[in-house]
């Protein structure tokens, strides 16, 4: 497993944990608002080997609570399960970030109790998924399966949407709210532009718009909040 990025300590990426964040390369989506697109298109080379990472983690036993695994999309990596097991063998809790398009991998992770927290992206309402993730066509059946798994699971989890002015409107959040009905946690994250974002024309929704979207979705989930408001 090549490692494409490492944040050695964070208090933000894994709720209520002091964690390291490991970035894996590759993704099956092409979201035009992605902050880590250099990990998606392969233009950013690995920064360390798996052995280097575990040498670092072994020195952090007793210092860090957990490891957040993100990307890119971790679930496209065939050696992900083995990788997670090796991290857990050191005593670290695991947080997994995923786009939800690989329910067979998520099912194994949940069944084998390999993660302590899962954060799944909900890119948009089902009818606008393809355009939002930068693809011509997309069947949301895998997303549906992953949503159902998490809703019925006892694991700690969250759903989250990065809100982009050009992609999201009131009707989308009404659909998303119904889609995620009964979810424990749902977060709206305000898009912010960076030089790594593929589409430089995209912009952030206003504070009023974010508040309105939150009010639309809140009645459908147990807890909803806004993150990253500038």
Say what the pLDDT of residue 230 is.
60
Q: How confident is the model at residue 41 (pLDDT cuts 50, 70, 90)?
A: confident
What b/e string do you get for 152-183 counting C-beta neighbours within 10 Å, with b at 16 or more? eeeebbbbbbbbbeebbbeebbebbbebbeeb
pLDDT in tens, 147-159: 999 999 999 999 9
Q: How many CB atoms lie within 10 A of CB 51?
A: 10
Classify strands 19-23 and 156-163 as parallel, antiparallel or unpaired: unpaired
Residues 6+ apart with CB under 8 A from 81: 105, 108, 109, 112, 114
Distances (CA, A) of 192 to 34, 37, 164: 10, 14, 8
The torsion region of residue 94 among left (phi > 0), alpha (psi -120 to 50) and beta comes to beta
CATH superfamily label, 5-227: Aldolase class I (3.20.20.70)
Three-class DSSP category at 151: helix
Say what the pLDDT of residue 122 is.
98
Instruction: Please name the residue that has the structure tokens 């072994």.
Output: 58
Residues 6+ apart with CB under 8 A from 16: none
pLDDT in tens, 162-221: 999 999 999 999 999 999 999 999 999 999 988 889 999 999 999 999 999 999 999 999
**Structure-block tokens of residue 40:** 């998606």
Q: How confident is the model at residue 106 (pLDDT cuts 50, 70, 90)?
A: very high
Q: How many CB atoms lie within 10 A of CB 25?
A: 25
Percentage with pLDDT > 90 across the chain: 88
Decide if pLDDT at 100 tops 80.
yes
């Amino acid at each position: 497993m090549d490692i494409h990025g490492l944040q050695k300590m964070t208090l933000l990426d894994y709720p209520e944990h002091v964690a390291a964040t490991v970035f894996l390369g590759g993704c099956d989506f092409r979201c035009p608002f992605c902050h880590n697109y250099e990990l998606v298109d392969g233009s950013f080379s690995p920064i360390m080997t798996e052995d280097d990472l575990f040498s670092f983690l072994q020195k952090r036993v007793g210092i860090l609570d957990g490891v957040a695994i993100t990307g890119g999309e971790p679930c496209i990596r065939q050696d992900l399960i083995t990788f997670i097991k090796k991290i857990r063998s050191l005593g670290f809790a695991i947080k997994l970030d995923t786009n939800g398009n690989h329910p067979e991998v998520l099912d194994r992770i949940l069944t084998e109790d390999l993660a302590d927290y899962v954060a799944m992206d909900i890119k948009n309402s089902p009818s606008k998924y393809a355009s939002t993730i930068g693809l011509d066509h997309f069947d949301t059946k895998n997303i549906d399966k992953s949503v159902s798994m998490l809703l019925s699971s006892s694991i700690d989890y969250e759903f989250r949407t990065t809100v982009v002015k050009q992609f999201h409107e009131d009707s989308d959040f009404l659909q998303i709210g119904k889609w995620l009905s009964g979810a424990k946690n749902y977060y709206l994250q305000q898009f912010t532009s960076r030089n790594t974002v593929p589409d430089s024309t995209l912009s952030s929704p206003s504070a009023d718009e974010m508040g309105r979207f939150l009010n639309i979705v809140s009645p459908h989930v147990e807890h909803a909040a806004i993150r990253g408001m500038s």
